[in-house]
Amino acid sequence: CDHLTNFAVLVSRNALMATDPLTTAEEVLSVISYVGCCLSMIGLLATMVTILKFKRLHASKYQRLMFGLCLTLLAVLTLFIAGVEHAARNKAACRTIAIMLHFLVLMMFMWTSAL
């Protein structure tokens, strides 16, 4: 990736592989990113299960919008975790993942404005 969006900066490895201390920092940041994304995904899944489990919550328009927001956030995190490694090696994959991530972020804004 040679563009400077926030996802491209996270995916970029060229600047970080120059010296060993930066490689170690890259590994630490990678672990922190994956752990944070996984914890967020667990929280989103718990929220979605709670909304689906209780009929009173599922019947509310606000909670249905919240479910859509959670689903979109879960898709963003899943795509980010699954696509980070592929985007770093392949320019076409980088472009495809960037387009899908931007679309999903626009969907997040849509769900947020509907709330």
29 contacts: CB under 8 Å, gap ≥ 6: none
Q: How confident is the model at residue 9 (pLDDT cuts 50, 70, 90)?
A: low
CB–CB of 51/58 below 8 Å? yes
DSSP class of 18: S
Entry pTM = 0.74
Q: How confident is the model at residue 29 (pLDDT cuts 50, 70, 90)?
A: confident
- Distance, in Å, from the CA atom of 42 to the CA atom of 56, rounded to the nearest integer, reads 23
> Which of 42, 47, 46 is closest to 67 using CA atoms?
47
Output the CA–CA distances (angstroms, integers) from residue 58 to 26, 42, 70, 92, in the order listed: 42, 19, 13, 40
Mean pLDDT to the nearest integer, 43-55: 91
